[in-house]
Amino acid sequence: MSVYVATIEQDGHGRWTASADGLTGTGNGYTAARDTLTDALFARDGEEPELRRDRTEIPIPGRAERTPDRLLALVATELPDQAEKLASSLEKARGLDARDGEALAVTAWCVETAGLIVTHRARPAGEDVEPAFVPWTKPDPRAGNDVFLSCWSPHQLDDLPTLTKIADVPRTVLGILDALAPTERVRAWQEMTTAEHGPALDRAMARWWNIAMVMGTTALQHTVKQSTKRLTAGDRGTPATDLPASRALDDLHHDLTDEEQTARRTAWDRSQREQAEARDAREDAYVADLERLLADARQHRDMQLEHRRRRQTVSDARSRIDTPAHEFPIDTGLFARLRDGLPITMHLPARPWRHVTTGESCHFVFTSETEAQLARVTNVRHYDSIEAFDHAGEHAGTAGTTPTTWKELESYPAQWGGIITLTATPTAELVLHHTARSPLPEAAVEPE
Strand pairing report for 50-53 and 3-10:
parallel
pTM (whole model) above 0.85: no
pLDDT of residue 371: 83
pLDDT of residue 264: 94
Average pLDDT per block of 10 residues along the chain, 448 residues long:
81 84 87 88 89 74 93 93 93 93 92 94 64 79 91 89 89 94 91 92 95 91 86 69 79 90 94 93 91 94 90 84 84 88 91 80 80 88 92 83 86 91 84 51 41
CB 432 within 8 A of CB 368: no
pLDDT of residue 172: 94
Residue 336 to residue 43: CA distance in whole angstroms: 101
Residue 37 to residue 412: CA distance in whole angstroms: 103
> Which residues make beta-bridge pairs with 9?
17
pLDDT of residue 439: 45
CB 334 within 8 A of CB 343: no
C-alpha 52: how far from its chain's center? 45
pLDDT of residue 54: 66
Of residues 122, 218, 232, the one with CA closest to residue 178: 218
pLDDT of residue 437: 40
